[in-house]
Amino acid sequence: MSVPWKQTLLVGATSGIGAALAERLIASGVKVVAAGRRTDRLDAFVARHGASKAAAVRVDLADRESLTAFSKSVTTNFPEIDSVVLNAGTQSPFNLIKPGATDELSRFHNEVAVNFSAFVDLSMRLQPLLRNKPASALVFVSSHLGFVPATPLPAYSASKAALSAYAITLREQLRGTGVRVIDLWPPPVQTELHDYMGPDKGRKFGMPVEEFVDEAMAGLIAGKEEIIVGTGPAPKEEFDACVGQRTKWAEALALKQKALFAEHL
């Protein structure tokens, strides 16, 4: 079995989790429109797979002004897209109490913007394309740290918490449409994301990327809306149960508030 998609836009496809997912989706028969900053890697991806299986569009999530043009280009040039995977991100440690910490504010806010605000923009701008399909999917790659934050990574943890909350609310608002909203939660994975630790240490930290993709693909094929891969910052059964309970509470709250906010939605 494979995912029920024909063509996927994968943002953040030039390295790490995104690159591995792109390869696996193509192997499953899905055409992948890869998006990322590094044109050399995008060109190599298309050359490796051929135009019938792959395409590429450059995007820089840090440049929010460019996301409107990017979304219009994708919608115009790739109208067959029936799934979008929003994966790109950045991670760095912050000492919030050291002298001069306020000098780091721009870097902090940039990380939140790339990991969260850019995905809100893209999901809103690409939503009409997905809603025109009888069945489609929007996948957010969040993190275990969006549920249990890591003290050295406040910007990353906060941005992933916001992204997960946004995914839940968007899922509920899209109920009854053909768009499925999927929240994919990786643990630490051995990718370039941790290069700030030093390439040798950082790329050995966490789950091997192929193991992550095996579990992620299994969840996507099974049709899960929340896919929690690997072991989080607590025993897996306990962690998964807590996440599941949060989702149930969110769904119950959505039902209670449906009538209250009806005139506003």
Enzyme catalytic residues: 156
Residue (of 253, 250, 259, 256) closest to 165 by Cα position: 250
Cβ-Cβ contacts under 8 Å for 30 (sequence gap 6 or more): 2, 3, 5, 6, 7, 8, 83
Residue (of 22, 20, 27, 28) closest to 4 by Cα position: 28
d(C-alpha 44, C-alpha 216), whole Å: 24
Show the CA angle centred on residue 20, arms to residues 17 and 23, nearest 5°. Answer: 150
